[in-house]
Amino acid sequence: MARRLALHWQILIALAAAVAAGVFGGPDAAIGGLPLVEVYGFLGTIFLNALKMLIVPLIASSIIVGMVGMGDSAAVGRLGIRTLVYYTVTTLLAILTGLVLVNVFQPGIIGGRPAGEVLHLGTLPASVAQKVEGHGMGELVRVILRMIPENVVAAASDNGRMLAVIVFSLLFGFFMMRIPEPGAGTLKAFWQGVLDVMMGITDLVMRIAPLGVFGLVAKTVANTGFAAFRPLLGFFAVVVAGLLFHSAVTLPLLLRFAGGIRNPYDHVKAMAPALLMAFSSSSSSATLPLTLECAERRAGIPRRIASFVLPLGATVNMDGTALYECVAAMFLAQAYGLHMGFGTQFVVVLMALLTSVGVAGVPSASLVAITIILSAIGLPLEALGLILVVDRVLDMMRTAVNVFSDSCGAAIIARRLDAGNPTADATDAEPA
Ligand code: ASP
């Protein structure tokens, strides 16, 4: 029997076909009166919904199983601190990369004049205005408050509030192992079973991944096209260069020197299906089932580590998003002719770091975070209108970087913890 094409190749082919279909068909193509964009939308939505339905049980079960796998509180503490340090350091490195590039290339200045005078500053569409209004500095406080939900079932009913589910699951897992038998053992078997079932359903959903990816991307390309990009090419290029630098230089260097992984390319190859999925869906959360599967089965990261680090990362670790927020805020400040001194730039860096933690892993989530930064540095919310045209495609790229950084974190932490504890049980990994 002929060998099946590897999943990442299938998805890549679907991506190429989607770009071709979107570009050549445009937004009005139809077959027998049926608009093709609707067909693409249908395919994409089925696939995304199938993944999204897994998020809540997957996050809960994988974090609980991860906590149980770690055993004593000291091990939980070690893993927690390493995870926190990795997430903070890489996010900061990403932001600084963006900050340097945006200062060097100044995409917001065109021909010596603020871009706002050259391009007409767009007005904010009502749908976006509604989404971002009322999100000021208080939003930061609200993020912290949302971590402790007053009703965990209500929080679990909203894919945008996963931080609350994570906190609850961490507590649940921690105290589950401290209750007497038979409760502890029964619960452990239950949650392990839930996790296995979720991974099984993920396998099934992944079979339609190429079709889903085709639908998602073809719809975006057909609706957006490429012409609208031209005036924002400078901004676009700076974001892409920053994302590329972070994922092709910074993170591989960390994999090599902090994680001792000889060939970082192998890690990229193992994670490829998840990265392509992140790119196509623009959602770290929707990609989580696949991120976990690739990390455990293809990259050989032990389950007890992957199932703790990755769900957390999908919500709180967003290197690509933080870089984008910083470049976008600086670009808009340049475009409005606002002078940005050292102090103000420091505020931007800090706010990008903090807000990237609160941003949900869903499409275009950073727009809200950017408005928080804009109000902090004194720019009107309408400024956001300027970058909306390119946001969709940049969202795809930054989401892929977000997921890549999570996976690098899991790989590095796994290596370091096992190096410090050579007797660690590595059998919980399921190699490809
Ligand atoms: N779409 C991004 C993610 O899911 C978040 C964002 O930057 O908008 O990771």
The CA 231 to ligand 1 mean position distance, Å, reads 24
Question: Relative to the CA of 356, which ligand 1 atom is closest?
Answer: 7
Residue 247: predicted pLDDT: 96
Between the alpha carbon of residue 98 and those of residues 235, 237, 432, the distances in Å are 11, 11, 36
Domains, the chain, ranges and CATH? 7-25+32-428 (1.10.3860)
The CA 395 to ligand 1 mean position distance, Å, reads 6
Residue 138: predicted pLDDT: 62
d(CA 20, CA 25) in angstroms, rounded, equals 8
Q: Which two tokens stand for residue 347?
A: 């505020």
Q: Are 95 and 324 in contact (CB under 8 A)?
A: no
Number of H helices, E strands in the chain: 19, 4
Neighbours of 122 (CB within 10 A): 14
The CA 398 to ligand 1 mean position distance, Å, reads 7
d(CA 384, CA 370) in angstroms, rounded, equals 8
d(CA 348, CA 357) in angstroms, rounded, equals 14
* Spatial CA neighbour of 135 closest among 419, 385, 424, 358: 358
Residue 131: predicted pLDDT: 56
Residue 429: predicted pLDDT: 42
According to DSSP, residue 6 is labeled P
Instruction: Mention every residue, 6+ apart, whose C-beta is less than 8 A from residue 184.
Output: 176, 177, 178
Residue-wise pLDDT tens for the chain (432 aa)? Answer: 456 777 778 888 988 898 888 888 777 777 877 888 888 889 988 988 888 888 888 888 888 888 887 777 787 888 888 998 999 999 999 999 999 999 999 988 877 777 777 665 555 566 655 555 555 556 667 767 777 888 989 988 887 777 788 889 989 988 988 888 898 899 999 999 998 898 888 888 888 888 988 888 888 788 766 665 666 888 999 999 999 999 999 999 999 999 888 899 999 999 999 999 999 888 998 899 999 999 999 999 998 889 889 998 988 899 999 999 999 999 998 888 888 888 888 889 998 998 888 777 888 888 878 888 887 888 877 777 778 778 888 999 999 999 999 999 999 999 987 765 544 443 344 433
Question: Relative to the CA of 284, which ligand 1 atom is closest?
Answer: 4
pTM of the entire structure? 0.82
Neighbours of 130 (CB within 10 A): 10
Residue 137: predicted pLDDT: 58
According to DSSP, residue 73 is labeled H
Residue 225: predicted pLDDT: 65
**Crossing angle, helix 388-420 and helix 284-293, to 10 degrees?**
30
Pocket perturbation via mutation, ligand 1, pick of 398, 406, 407 by most ligand atoms within 8 A of CB: 398
Residues with CB under 6 A from ligand 1: 282-284, 318, 321, 359, 361-366, 395, 398-399, 402
Q: Which two tokens stand for residue 145?
A: 């408050």
The CA 16 to ligand 1 mean position distance, Å, reads 22
Question: Relative to the CA of 398, which ligand 1 atom is closest?
Answer: 7
Residue 340: predicted pLDDT: 81
For ligand 1, atom 1: residue with the closest CA? 363
Question: Relative to the CA of 403, which ligand 1 atom is closest?
Answer: 9
Residue 290: predicted pLDDT: 92
The dihedral built from the CA positions of residue 130, 132, 138 and 139, taken in this order, carries a sign that is positive
Q: Are 162 and 285 in contact (CB under 8 A)?
A: yes
In one-letter notation, the amino acid at residue 295 is A
